[in-house]
Amino acid sequence: MRTRGLPRAGVIPPDNSLVPRGLAIANAAVPSIAVIPLLQHQGPPALCLVRPGDHVREGMLIGKADGPLSANVHSSIPGLVLEVPSIELPGGTRSDAVVIELGGEFDRSGKPRLTRSWESLSRLDLLGRIQAAGIVGLGGSLIPTHLKLATAPGAGVGLCVANGVDSEPSLSADDALMRLKAVEIAEAMRMCGKLLVAQRLVLAIGENQDDLVASFERIFREKGVACDIVVVPSRYPYGHEELVMASVDGSPAAGPHESRGKVINVATLHAIYEAVALDKPMIERVLTVTGGAVAAPRNLKVRIGTLVGDLFEECGGFSRPPAKIVVGGPMRGSAVPSPDTPVTKGTAGVVAFSRAEARPRVAYPCIRCGNCVEACPWGLVPMRLHKLVQQGEADRAMEEGLARCTECGCCAFACPSNIPLVVSLREGKKAAGRGAHV
């Protein structure tokens, strides 16, 4: 085990998850209606394979990947296809979605699972199972995972990192998975090591999770996995791939990390294990339901397509009226107008803010304190970029580094004047992309 500081910046937002670490993951009820979007990945939506009136089985392929950055989509419940409407996803993107009414027998749930041997499989067969299951990066990238694990014949990578660092404050689903599914995660690391021909395996966890070190060391010994454990400071956004890689190998955070190795989120590793060893497609995931308006916040295992409103009912409903519902985390999540928004593969959490938490902040003029510069993990000068965007010079802002901004929200969090920096920088990137001024 090695403890490393990270290269720069970041912030420490309050952890308002209200979910005690170590609390067991609960199984959310199977939804009576599942709304399953055909766009749950980078790239174009999957091609719809069903029509209204069709009967589907649990785990059946209902959307076929359309291109290299697209991914297969499967039915999370058995039942009848009611319609295939266009819906709005968090962030404003639109996608067709398959609406399924629950009915019929389950092919998997409640039945014994046979573990398949995988050691004798070729790398091509392993990738095929992962691709068929429709697995994407669950840490936020949504890139089809088989692409990330594919290497040229005879080639390999120097480093494969399992990322267990919390991606957002208040979200603890990855932590809960590592406590409950450590053996499966370790086995998936073996699979990825074989696929990538990795010279070194590393598990990265936050310092607030150091009680996990002993159990993972024991599991790695039992499985014969040569894997280092690196404990990094629990600062946001240090769960980001580039920062995790920088903390492990000591390289600059701003440079591309793909050439140095691969970083794979622990939730993605668990999905890889289920796809390869259990022949299970990506039809559910573990996520955090939290916020000051939620009666009993907790981590749930949820079927893809479950409506957000149903998750709050699983957590005892609302203790007070919610002022805002956010899909994702409190720093980078997207507010949604309705609890009828469905859970997708990329939904790591759902937050219902109370009125006190969501109280709007009044913006004041910049006082030139430099907090935004100190907080930015990418070495940018957010206030300078903000001013360029406001002056209609989005292209110049791109030249000065705006393209490197990940919209992590550190600058806005650190700003004592409450200037909406992230909103401005996001609009600047959109303006530069369309060749117009804000």
Pairing of the two strands 324-327 and 94-102:
unpaired
Domain that holds residue 421: 371-434
Residue 435 has pLDDT above 60, yes or no: no
Q: Which residue, 242, 238, 269, is CA-closest to 258?
A: 242
Q: For residue 355, is it within any domain?
A: no
249-304 pLDDT, tens digit per residue, is: 877 665 555 567 899 999 999 999 999 999 999 999 999 999 999 999 999 999 99
- Amino acid letter, residue 30: V
Of 278, 307, 330, which residue constitutes the final position of a domain? 278
Residues 14 and 147 in one domain: yes
Residues 272 and 376 in one domain: no
Residues 255 and 398 in one domain: no
Q: For residue 147, is it within any domain?
A: yes
What pLDDT was estimated at residue 207?
87
Q: How far apart are CA 223 and CA 218, in angstroms?
A: 9
The pLDDT mean for the chain works out to 91
Neighbouring residues of 349: CB distance < 8 A, sequence distance ≥ 6: 168, 170, 171, 173, 287, 288, 289, 290, 327, 328, 329, 333
Q: Scanning the structure block, which residue is given the tokens 């079927």?
A: 303
The mean per-residue pLDDT over the stretch 177-202 comes to 95
Kindly write down the DSSP assignment for every residue of 148-211, as one continuous string: HH---TT---S-EEEE-S-SSTT--HHHHHHHH-HHHHHHHHHHHHHHHT-S-EEEEEEGGGGG
Which CATH number fits the domain that encloses residue 125? 3.40.50.11540
Residues 406 and 271 in one domain: no
Q: For residue 382, is it within any domain?
A: yes
User: Residue 2: pLDDT band by 50, 70, 90 thresholds?
Assistant: low
Cis amide leading into 237 (omega within 30): yes
User: Residue 437: pLDDT band by 50, 70, 90 thresholds?
Assistant: very low
Q: For residue 37, is it within any domain?
A: no
Q: For residue 299, is it within any domain?
A: no
Residues 376 and 265 in one domain: no
Of 278, 298, 316, which residue constitutes the final position of a domain? 278
Domain count of the chain? 2
111-138 pLDDT, tens digit per residue, is: 777 888 999 999 999 999 999 999 999 9
Q: For residue 34, is it within any domain?
A: no
Residues 274 and 173 in one domain: yes
Of 251, 278, 305, which residue constitutes the final position of a domain? 278
Q: For residue 14, is it within any domain?
A: yes
Q: For residue 425, is it within any domain?
A: yes
356-381 pLDDT, tens digit per residue, is: 888 878 999 999 999 999 999 999 99
User: Residue 438: pLDDT band by 50, 70, 90 thresholds?
Assistant: very low
% residues pLDDT > 70 (the chain): 94
Residues 157 and 262 in one domain: yes
Asked if 279 and 116 touch (Cβ cutoff 8 Å), the reply is yes
Residue 436 has pLDDT above 70, yes or no: no
